[in-house]
Structure 1
């Protein structure tokens, strides 16, 4: 309890001398990057984001739209996080279901189609007929390109879901045979499971990158 008004200026008023902690309150309003040394994982993640930003910037090719790569970097991060978490036991792999993957691919495809046909109609029409196509085949090529364009969100969703299901299903089937095997075969099975888990970790990262890259190309 303060004896008088000027006790608030006494650093030894409290038992634990916490008055000096008020000098750190300003750090709450300053971004941590200006006063906190980033850890190695943070530095690694920032480098990955910068590499992805440069990759997507080249793929998009439109420098007039600022921040257009942010949605694809965020998409990559979200899918990769869900894929990697799905490798842990008793964690639901949401990206192995079409409800999740189609919810990601369909809105992106629809928005890109609306933006492309609204602002670059001539360019979108030119894509329906590949360069050098004979005049006789042009009507067929328009039909083929239209169908391939319409099924793109479905193929994008199926690709991600199928790759996630295949690896998890194989690991589950191999794991269920463990109790009935001998000790020597069990060692081989565990070694194979570790190798398969390493492969699935790589697939989790690769598929998230493929999904984000194909979203930009579509």
Structure 2
């Protein structure tokens, strides 16, 4: 039971799954420069990117980070949505993929900020008006929170993707006699999962820009 339940998250469990090739779906879908006129998908992509960029400009002043966060948003959203199709694999449900996106961004911001703004970054570890008695404890807490940021980013994305897929797998394995009962639940869950796929991409990219706002 457990093997079949978690088999959808095993990239080598079935030949029917597209496995890690799903990561290339973004490169197949996004290029739209071959058309003579702009398609509706191109218009939707452009409007979505503009909206996300406008939202992130209020979180960070670093335009380079905002551009990278917009690219991450499109990458994560498309992979999340493509993973909802039958016989497809969801790369973002694996720690290896989500950590690969979170850790380099975090390392890049930390290395840049600590090398160029060392004194100001030390000030971030100690909030203003902190009593002298708890200063050492606050420094330890702030340092720990700073270190676990890439872990929290990747685990949040992975856990949300796994939870919804497990629910759909459980409903799909139910008795066919309960078809009339499970079909409305599957439709509701599918709509819910579609919104979760977009929200998690938005949360991931927004948190990246919020972390970059601490860089002087």
TM-score, structure 1 normalization? 0.78
> Partner residue of 2:133?
136
Give the alignment of 1:1-218 within 5 angstroms: 36-62=36-62, 67-179=64-176, 182=177, 185-218=178-211
Higher-Rg member (1/2)? 1
How far apart are the structure 2 equivalents of 1:167 and 1:178?
20
Structure 1 runs, 4 residues or longer, greater than 3 Å off: none
Paired with 2:33 and 2:138, the residues of 1 have a C-alpha distance of 55
Of structures 1 and 2, the one with the larger relative CO (CA 8 A, separation 6+) is 2
Query: Shift in Å at residue 134 of structure 1?
Result: 0.9
Residue of structure 2 in register with 1:6 after alignment: none
Displacement of 1:171 in angstroms is 0.7
Query: TM-score normalised to the size of structure 2?
Result: 0.78
Unaligned runs of 5+ in 2: 1-31, 212-216
Q: Using the alignment, how far apart are the partners of 1:69 and 1:216 within structure 2? A: 6
Residue 7 of structure 1 is matched in structure 2 by none
1:103 CA displacement: 0.7
Shift of 1:152: 0.7
In 2, distance between residues paired with 1:207 and 1:32? 28
Question: Judging changes above 3 Å, is the alpha-carbon distance between structure 1 residues 68 and 146 closer, same or farther for their aligned structure 2 residues?
Answer: closer
